Structure 1
Amino acid sequence: MSAREEFVYRSKLAEQAERYEDMVQWMQKVAEEDTEMTVEERNLLSVAYKNVIGTKRASWRIITGIEQKEVEKKNESGKQLGYIVDYRKKIEDELKDTCNKVLAVLKTILARQDPSTAGESKVFYYKMQGDYHRYLAEFAKGADRQVAAESSLSSYKAAADNAKGLPPTHPIRLGLALNFSVFYFEILNSAEQACEVAKTAFDDAIQELDSLNEDSYKDSTLIMQLLRDNLTLWTADMPNQDGDDQEQQRQDDAEEQQEES
């Protein structure tokens, strides 16, 4: 067993044990090697970080909700609110640290890619890069939020440019459209642009649904359903965008778990 095979095996072992921090460590070693990652390896890397960041994002949403309720009770000067704010900031520091680690790994991986060629792997990595900049933008404020949002937009656009060569029904292309539309809706507050991205991806895929191969049928149709669900939410009750965020986040996460399984 080579060192690389050992890292992958240990990562799979950590995944089964649901020790995702350990899984991250092993897959980072694979990513740092000067060799293109296989589909299995890049999915393992994505799953590892997705589970680590997913837990922290969920914690942040819960604490932010508690903080908002405390503020609404007019307890701005109370000790309890201070404890909540300190805890939220602690979680945000952890989120920032995790996102920056992922983005550093992705920067290394993308630097190895041939700039003159497009392909599935480039779409995957640029999409992932866009996702983690988006996660930073979710809690950042001021100039930091603007930088994170601009970086996310740039990464998603690069992914979209490279995705033009993939079939409209390809799960990675559809997953990109789903997350890109979520970015427009949640980060840029542009429901119109979000709907346009989602509708275009859905309509293009529908036209070629008959040619969809069996291997990706389940993944592709699931993401198409999520795209349609989002369109229904975003167009039915536009004034209640804030209320739809948590539901949308569940859909976003469901897509990525499906794609990376």
Structure 2
Amino acid sequence: MVEFMEKVAKTGDSEELTVEERNLLSVAYKNVIGARRASWRIISSIEQKEGSRGNEDHVSIIKEYRSKIETELSKICDGILNLLDSHLVPSATSAESKVFYLKMKGDYHRYLAEFKTGAERKDAAESTLLAYKSAQDIALAELAPTHPIRLGLALNFSVFYYEILNSPDRA
């Protein structure tokens, strides 16, 4: 479904996706990324437990598998982020679409920040913040306070502050 929706997004040239197409694209990527994010969390938890037990043989196998999941996560995130930057954000005309795509951009940078380390994590976090702030500026000016996309943005921005920046006060 991801491949099909990517084709739909790319064939429209400068034409904006319909609400239904936009939602299908989002759901397609959410399904693909969600399973891997869950796998990564589980495997990381197992890695910690095995490490604390001193099972180094298990830990090395688990690290290898975690690395494979991280490669898949990176590839998926890079794919949607490239699509957002090259087609979706530039072709967005309505405030709703702009906020939707910028929120999506922030979400996928946040997913990268969940497992990246060092400079890569810092870059992903900064990109998340930029995308969410851009979306928020438009949302505050042009969307109703009860608009579902604006509310979703507020929620995800809060998750970002809490989980990535470890800032419960700002969340």
Calculate the TM-score normalised by the size of structure 2: 0.95
Q: How many angstroms does 1:110 deviate by? A: 1.0
3-state SS of 1:193 partner = coil
Partner of 2:146: 169
**Residues of 2 paired with 1:193 and 1:62: CA distance?**
28
**Is residue 86 of structure 2 the alignment partner of residue 110 of structure 1?**
no
Q: How many angstroms does 1:37 deviate by? A: 0.3
CA deviation string 1:189-229 (max 9, x = no partner): 010000xxxxxxxxxxxxxxxxxxxxxxxxxxxxxxxxxxx
Partner of 2:97: 121
Q: How many angstroms does 1:71 deviate by? A: 1.1
**Residues of 1 paired with 2:43 and 2:7: CA distance?**
33
**Is residue 4 of structure 2 the alignment partner of residue 26 of structure 1?**
yes
Partner of 2:157: 180
**Residues of 2 paired with 1:45 and 1:30: CA distance?**
9
3-state SS of 1:58 partner = helix
Q: How many angstroms does 1:151 deviate by? A: 0.2
**Is residue 33 of structure 2 the alignment partner of residue 57 of structure 1?**
no
Q: How many angstroms does 1:111 deviate by? A: 2.1
Amino acid at match of 1:143: A
**Is residue 18 of structure 2 the alignment partner of residue 38 of structure 1?**
yes
Unaligned runs of 5+ in 2: none
Amino acid at match of 2:107: D
**Is residue 117 of structure 2 the alignment partner of residue 147 of structure 1?**
no
Partner of 1:71: 51
Matched pairs, number? 167
**Is residue 30 of structure 2 the alignment partner of residue 47 of structure 1?**
no
Q: How many angstroms does 1:92 deviate by? A: 0.3
Alignment root-mean-square deviation, CA: 0.9
Partner of 2:112: 136
**Residues of 1 paired with 2:60 and 2:54: CA distance?**
13
Q: How many angstroms does 1:72 deviate by? A: 1.0
Amino acid at match of 1:32: K
**Is residue 49 of structure 2 the alignment partner of residue 80 of structure 1?**
no
3-state SS of 1:169 partner = coil
**Residues of 2 paired with 1:178 and 1:24: CA distance?**
25
**Is residue 76 of structure 2 the alignment partner of residue 101 of structure 1?**
no
Partner of 1:192: 169
CA deviation string 1:84-111 (max 9, x = no partner): 0000000000000000001011112112
**Residues of 2 paired with 1:105 and 1:24: CA distance?**
11
**Is residue 92 of structure 2 the alignment partner of residue 92 of structure 1?**
no
The structure with the larger Rg is 1
Unaligned runs of 5+ in 1: 1-22, 195-261
Q: How many angstroms does 1:147 deviate by? A: 0.2
**Residues of 1 paired with 2:96 and 2:90: CA distance?**
16
Q: How many angstroms does 1:112 deviate by? A: 2.4
